[in-house]
């Protein structure tokens, strides 16, 4: 599982509750969830990196990508579907796969996409190819769903594309199965130690190195890092472990490397006092980890560029927002969290940002 899969599950369930017949295409490795209210079809292929070279993995990934889009095209035609919602917009190699969907769009198939990351600044290949890919990936869409008001960069004018702001609802993972004391004992963390949790994929843009440097000046604070590397292009967890050793804080760091089972997520949040969401200035999206923290009522220290994360943390007082990519700002924010109280507006956030509202807006645009 991951943020996008969790989001798709919650959204599909909410749409199904509104009477929409949802069929979700998945990979065979994606096991159906017990509490789903929608159908699944495991017809997509999962690209496995294995132990091959980086070039071989990339070639395999591209082949898998193109094959899955061909499969989607075949499923739409075979099932005579008239409405297709892509769980995430992305542009990679779109000139090679978007044409088949433009053909379907001309045949009155309606396409929409959740644009989780509206600022597409991760470039694969030459700049001109990146721009052409962005335009191609938007070319067949009539509906784009975002989590914050934004003028999408579609490269070319696309007057038929409508953009709608929808909320990102909380993730409803299971209740904790352990007490705070039990979790801390298992992690060998003192009962009264202030403990910070960094949860989710380990990648450069989450500024874990800054967190470790800040921790060096906060001798009473412990840090739990739980997640796996996002890709081979990012610094591995060993980089951060070695940095912790260099800084002399390894005794106050706990590393849970790999996928965290759903029934363990609640224990990690329950055993922590604060959640780290210190993204770089290039992050301008909604955060799935924030919506997990909301579910477990844990405040955060957050940073990011202008976007949904900044807006909701400040509007609902979900934590302390600090200047991104700044060690002094992060240290100040963490020190403030240590000594100051906060009264997050959890219930108001959940009311304003429900999956029911998300699904209602999507249904109005896509299905009504």
Q: Determine the average pLDDT of the residues in 34-54.
A: 81
368 has a pLDDT exceeding 80:
no
Cα–Cα distance, 224 to 270 (Å, whole number): 12
Residue 3: pLDDT band (50, 70, 90) is confident
Q: Which residue has the tokens 């769009």?
A: 105
Distance CA 168, CA 146 (A): 9
Residue 204, helix vs strand vs coil:
helix
- pLDDT the model gives residue 208: 97
Q: What residue ranges of the chain are covered by domains with CATH 3.40.50.2000?
A: 3-169+354-366, 180-344
pLDDT value at position 48? 64
Instruction: Provide mean pLDDT across the span 62-87.
Output: 96
Has residue 51 got a pLDDT over 80?
no
C-beta separation of 269 from 294 below 8 A: no
Please report which confidence band the pLDDT of residue 50 belongs to, taking 50, 70 and 90 as the band edges.
low
Structure tokens, 337 = 């969290």
- Segment 196-214, tens digit of pLDDT: 999 999 999 999 999 999 9
Q: What is the pLDDT of residue 150?
A: 92
Please give the pLDDT value at position 53.
75
Is 230:259 a contact under the CB 8 Å cutoff?
A: no
What is the structure's pLDDT at 66? 96
Q: How far is CA 167 from the centre of its chain?
A: 14
> What is the C-alpha separation between 176 and 99, in angstroms, rounded?
47
pLDDT surpasses 90 at 318: yes
- For position 1, what pLDDT does the model report? 46
Which positions ≥6 away from 157 have C-beta within 8 Å?
none
DSSP assignment string, 27-84: ETTSPPPTT--SEEEEEE-PPP-TTS-HHHHHHHHHHHHHHHHHHHHHHHHHHT-SEE
pLDDT band at 216 (very low <50, low <70, confident <90, very high): very high
Stronger pLDDT, 55 or 259, i.e. the higher one: 259
**Helix or strand (DSSP H, E) at 196:** strand 194-199
Query: What pLDDT score was predicted for residue 25?
Result: 96
- The encoded tokens of residue 115 equal 């644009």
Local structure of 93: helix, strand or coil: coil
- Reported as a single tens digit per residue, the pLDDT across 239-279 is 999 999 999 999 999 999 998 999 999 999 999 999 999 99
Q: Determine phi and psi for 41, rounding to 5 degrees.
A: -130, 110
Neighbours of 131 (CB within 10 A): 16
Q: Which of the pair, 32 or 51, is modelled with greater confidence? A: 32
For 180-344, CATH number?
3.40.50.2000
Write the pLDDT tens digit of every residue in 328-360: 999 999 999 999 889 999 999 999 999 999 999
pLDDT tens per residue across span 118-177: 988 778 889 999 999 999 999 999 999 999 999 999 999 999 999 999 999 999 899 999
Q: Is 13 left (phi over 0), alpha (psi -120 to 50) or beta?
A: alpha
CB 315 within 8 A of CB 201: no
How large a percentage of the chain has pLDDT more than 90?
84
pTM of full prediction above 0.85:
yes
In this prediction, residue 346 carries a pLDDT of 97
Q: Indicate whether 69 pLDDT > 70.
A: yes
Radius of gyration (C-alpha) of the chain in whole angstroms = 21
In the chain, where does DSSP find H-type helix?
3-17, 54-79, 94-97, 99-106, 127-138, 180-186, 208-215, 237-247, 262-270, 288-295, 308-315, 327-339, 346-352, 355-366
Whole-number Å distance between alpha carbons of 242 and 361: 47
Distance CA 350, CA 356 (A): 11
Q: Which CATH architecture has domain 3-169+354-366?
A: 3-Layer(aba) Sandwich (3.40)
């Amino acid at each position: 599982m991951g943020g996008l899969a969790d989001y798709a599950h919650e959204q599909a369930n909410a749409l199904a509750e509104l009477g929409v017949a949802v069929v979700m295409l998945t990979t065979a490795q994606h096991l159906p969830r017990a509490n789903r209210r929608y159908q699944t079809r495991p017809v997509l292929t999962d690209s496995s990196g294995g132990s091959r070279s980086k070039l071989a993995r990339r070639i395999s990934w591209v082949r898998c990508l193109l094959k899955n889009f061909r499969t989607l095209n075949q499923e739409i035609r075979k099932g005579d579907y008239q409405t297709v919602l892509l769980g995430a917009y992305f542009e990679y190699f779109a000139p090679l796969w978007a044409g088949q969907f433009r053909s379907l769009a001309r045949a009155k198939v309606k396409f929409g996409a959740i644009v989780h990351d509206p600022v597409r600044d991760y470039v694969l290949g030459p700049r001109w190819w990146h721009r052409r890919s962005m335009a191609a990936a938007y070319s067949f869409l009539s509906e784009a769903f975002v989590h914050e008001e934004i003028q999408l960069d579609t490269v070319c004018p696309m007057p038929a594309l409508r953009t709608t702001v929808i909320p990102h609802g909380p993730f409803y993972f299971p209740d904790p199965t352990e007490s705070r004391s039990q979790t801390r004992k298992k992690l060998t963390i003192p009962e009264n130690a202030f403990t910070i949790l960094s949860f989710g994929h380990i990648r450069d843009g989450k500024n874990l190195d800054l967190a470790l440097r800040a921790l060096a000046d906060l001798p009473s604070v412990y840090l739990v890092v739980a997640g796996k590397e996002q890709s081979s292009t990012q610094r591995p967890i060993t980089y951060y472990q070695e940095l912790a050793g260099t800084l002399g804080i390894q005794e106050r760091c706990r590393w849970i490397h790999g996928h965290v089972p759903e029934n363990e997520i609640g224990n990690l949040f329950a055993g922590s006092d604060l959640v780290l969401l210190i993204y770089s200035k290039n992050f301008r999206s909604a955060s799935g980890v924030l919506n997990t923290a909301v579910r477990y009522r844990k405040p955060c220290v957050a940073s990011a560029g202008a976007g949904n994360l900044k807006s909701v943390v400040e509007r609902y007082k979900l934590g302390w927002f600090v200047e991104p990519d700044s060690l002094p700002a992060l240290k100040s924010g963490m020190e403030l969290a240590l000594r100051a109280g906060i009264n997050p507006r959890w219930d108001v956030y959940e009311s304003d940002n429900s999956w029911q509202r998300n699904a209602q807006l999507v249904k109005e645009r896509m299905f009504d």
